[in-house]
Chain A
Amino acid sequence: MSVQALLTEYGDKYLQALLTTWRLTAVSFAAAFLIGIVITVLRVCPIRPLRLFGDFYVQIFRNIPGAALLILLVYALPYLQIIFPYDVCVLIATVLIPSAFCSEHLMSGMNTISPGQIEAARALGLTFFQMIRRIVIPQALRSTVLPMTNLLVATMLTTSLASQVPMRPHDLTGIVSYINTRDAGGVTAFAISAVLYCGTALVIGRIGSLIDRKVRILR
């Protein structure tokens, strides 16, 4: 099928799919970011059980395959009588996995802070939380703009998991499967989705570099 024909027939569905993917990505990233900060704070706080919990959380969610996590959420959890609607399941998966990577990025971002600052802060009598809030996190965030940009793109790629559950409206990957079962969409159906994904990734990358150049800490 030609691009023209595809667009006239499914153009509105593609737009809907694009918006669905964007919405999922934005919401997931925001939530993952917040959780990532919380988990990172847990991983550096003086209470050992919390540190272990944070490390454990990160190891589980950066190593579990997205498909396995989604299947557990959708099919297995209900046996424990915890039933979430499909879109919530997808959201949980697209939040938990990036949150683990977010925490990893923040940890490496923290290591770019010179220890002298921490010593000075302690000498000045700042408590743990004050140090975290005023010194560690702001600088960690500024050094991790590029990895976080990559994480945003990775989150968008993870949202393709939505195609694996009967979710309406479709996301950009699910729509291709939908079109292909009803029409001989062929390569063009894929090309449109692929271009939309790529385009979004490129735009995100550009914006990310701009922000990075502005807030980068020169040492």
Chain B
Amino acid sequence: MKKLISLILVLALTLTAVAVLAEETAATPIDKEAFDALLSEGPVAADDAIAASTWATKVKEAGILRVGGTRTSFLFSQLDETDNGIRGFDAALYQLLARYILGDASKFELTQVTSSTRESVLTEDQVDAVFATYSITPSRQEVISFAGPYFTSRYAILIKAGNTEITGLDSLAGKIVATQAGSTGPKVIEEYAPEAIVQEFEDDISARTAVEQGRADAYVTDYTLILNSIVKNPGVYALSEQFGNDDPYGIGLPKDSDGVAFVNDFLKAIEADGTWAKIWKITLGDRTGIEEVPQPPVIE
């Protein structure tokens, strides 16, 4: 027993020593104050607008917005364990939506989803909406409905820095290309680089780690995610090529729900009053070094 306790103490002390002696260095962190301030200033819907939508009324009566999302997407929705705040582009949107319906940005409940469970949590009524860098595709629209689009991104190829073999889409033939399971990645690769060997991974960090470690030659996913990987790890990765059409992200909602119209009104409101641009700047622009804020996509 004594040996065990002393072993634990030694381990704890070593860890603390290493931790304390190390200094804090990180890629540009998010401006927490600006983010939180933005959340508290968001618009609130009028009561009759809520009453006109059965989806919104349901949320209002429940008193909480059930969101399907993630806690581990650094740019879009990342949980900060120091203060339990979730911040990112998607996170801003769903917290603002919570404020829009319920008056308080913190009245939401996050259920972790993966790219393979995004539809089932909606069809089984486990969540009210899904915010998860969710690309709008016709096959998904057979099962659920999308509000938005609220963001667009082209695809891009991530390679290891110094890799001269891969110069673009054509050079992917025969190479091992990583992608996220259940995302639009596999289909995109099939369309643009059919000769590539596809390897599916559970999440973004596993896929790009595979490239870093040489298990995969390239990683194909949305341009913003790739930019995030490059910025967070200077010198490790390189961008090979952006390609494809603009991939629109939408907010997942139950099929044919009238929430689509309601959430679209919300999106138009925040785009009109400049909140969308501010979110983009705080969560994406400042952290990836892109100065120019793009125009929000048109909502039909």
Show the binding face of A for B, using Cβ within 8 Å. Answer: 75, 78-79, 83, 85-86, 166, 181
Interchain CB contact under 8 A, A75 and B209: yes
Instruction: Take A83-B214, A181-B116 as given contacts and tell me if A78 and B200 are in contact as well, using a CB distance cutoff of 8 Å.
Output: no
- Report if B82 contacts A (CB, 8 A): no
Q: Using a Cβ–Cβ cut-off of 8 Å, how many residues does chain B contribute to the interface with A?
A: 10
Q: Once bound together, how far apart are the Cα atoms of A86 and B215, in whole Å?
A: 9
Interchain CB contact under 8 A, A75 and B206: yes
Shortest B54–chain A CB gap in Å is 30
Per-residue interface assignment for chain B, residues 203 to 223, with 1 indicating a CB less than 8 Å from any chain A CB and 0 otherwise: 000100100111100000000
Interchain CB contact under 8 A, B199 and A166: yes
Residues of B within 8 A of A83 (CB): 213-215
9 cross-chain pairs, A with B, having the tightest CB-CB distances, nearest first: A78-B213, A166-B199, A83-B213, A75-B209, A83-B214, A166-B200, A181-B116, A75-B206, A83-B215
Interchain CB contact under 8 A, B209 and A78: yes
Shortest B190–chain A CB gap in Å is 15
- Report if B280 contacts A (CB, 8 A): no
**Which of B116, B201, B209, B214 is within 8 Å of A166, CB to CB?**
B201
Shortest B121–chain A CB gap in Å is 16
Shortest A58–chain B CB gap in Å is 15
Shortest B273–chain A CB gap in Å is 42
Residues of B within 8 A of A85 (CB): 215
Residues of A within 8 A of B201 (CB): 166
A contact patch SS: helix
Residues of A within 8 A of B214 (CB): 78, 83
Residues of A within 8 A of B215 (CB): 78, 83, 85-86
Residues of A within 8 A of B199 (CB): 166
Shortest A72–chain B CB gap in Å is 13
* A–B Cβ pairs within 8 angstroms, 17 of them: A75-B206, A75-B209, A78-B209, A78-B212, A78-B213, A78-B214, A78-B215, A79-B213, A83-B213, A83-B214, A83-B215, A85-B215, A86-B215, A166-B199, A166-B200, A166-B201, A181-B116
Q: Once bound together, how far apart are the Cα atoms of A83 and B201, in whole Å?
A: 17
Other than the given A78-B215, A85-B215, 15 more pairs (CB < 8 A) read A75-B206, A75-B209, A78-B209, A78-B212, A78-B213, A78-B214, A79-B213, A83-B213, A83-B214, A83-B215, A86-B215, A166-B199, A166-B200, A166-B201, A181-B116
Q: Once bound together, how far apart are the Cα atoms of A83 and B200, in whole Å?
A: 19
Q: Once bound together, how far apart are the Cα atoms of A79 and B213, in whole Å?
A: 8
Q: Once bound together, how far apart are the Cα atoms of A68 and B215, in whole Å?
A: 20
Per-residue interface assignment for chain B, residues 93 to 125, with 1 indicating a CB less than 8 Å from any chain A CB and 0 otherwise: 000000000000000000000001000000000
Per-residue interface assignment for chain B, residues 114 to 154, with 1 indicating a CB less than 8 Å from any chain A CB and 0 otherwise: 00100000000000000000000000000000000000000
Q: Closest residue to B212 on the A side, CB-wise?
A: A78
| Residue among B116, B201, B212, B213 having the largest count of chain A Cβ atoms under 10 Å | B213
Q: Once bound together, how far apart are the Cα atoms of A166 and B197, in whole Å?
A: 12
Q: Once bound together, how far apart are the Cα atoms of A109 and B215, in whole Å?
A: 43
Q: Once bound together, how far apart are the Cα atoms of A75 and B201, in whole Å?
A: 12
**Contact residues of B between 139 and 192, Cβ < 8 Å to A:** none
**Contact residues of B between 44 and 92, Cβ < 8 Å to A:** none
**Contact residues of B between 211 and 238, Cβ < 8 Å to A:** 212-215
| Residue among B199, B214, B215 having the largest count of chain A Cβ atoms under 10 Å | B215
Q: Closest residue to B206 on the A side, CB-wise?
A: A75
Q: Once bound together, how far apart are the Cα atoms of A86 and B214, in whole Å?
A: 12
Shortest A107–chain B CB gap in Å is 19
Q: Once bound together, how far apart are the Cα atoms of A78 and B209, in whole Å?
A: 9
